[in-house]
Amino acid sequence: MQDPISEFKTKRGIARLLAACRNTRDGLAWAWRSEAAFRQEVVGIAIATVVALLLPVSSFQKLVLVGVLVLVLIVEIVNSAIEAVVDRISLERHPLSKVAKDMGSAAVALSLLLALATWAVVLYNRFF
C-alpha cells in the first residue's frame, strides 16, 4: 500500500466517513458562526424553500428551485474557504489576495443571478 500524501489522509472505511461527517458539521458550524452572509442566505433560502414547496409546479421544478438555492450556499462556503486560506497565508494587502477574494465574491454573485433567473423563468412559465 502506498504511503498517504498527507497525515490527514490516513483514515479509511467507516473512520474516514465519520471524520468527513465531523468535518462537514464543523464547516457548517463555522460558516454559521462566522459568516453573516451565510446566515442571511440560510434564512432567505429557508423561506424561499417553503415557498418553492408550496408552489403549484412540478416536482422537478421544485427540485430545480431548491437546487439553485443550495448552489448559492455551496458557492458561499467555497468563497469563505478561499477568504480563510488567503487570510491564513497573510493579512497583508496584496493584489493577488484581492483577486482571489474578488473572484470568490463574483462566483457568489453569479450563483445568485442564476438562482434569480431560474426562479423568474419557472414563475413566469407557471403564472404568465
User: Rounded CA gap, 44 and 31, in Å?
Assistant: 16
Question: Running DSSP on this structure, what letter comes out for residue 5?
Answer: S
Side chain identity at residue 38, one-letter code: F
76 is catalytic: yes
Residue 80 sits at the vertex; the CA angle it makes with 52 and 75, to the nearest 5 degrees, is: 35
Catalytic residue among 7, 35, 41, 76: 76
Among candidates 127, 5, 118, 9, which has minimal Cα distance to 64?
Answer: 118
Q: Residue 115: what are its φ and ψ, rounded to 5°? A: -65, -45
Q: Which residues are catalytic?
A: 76
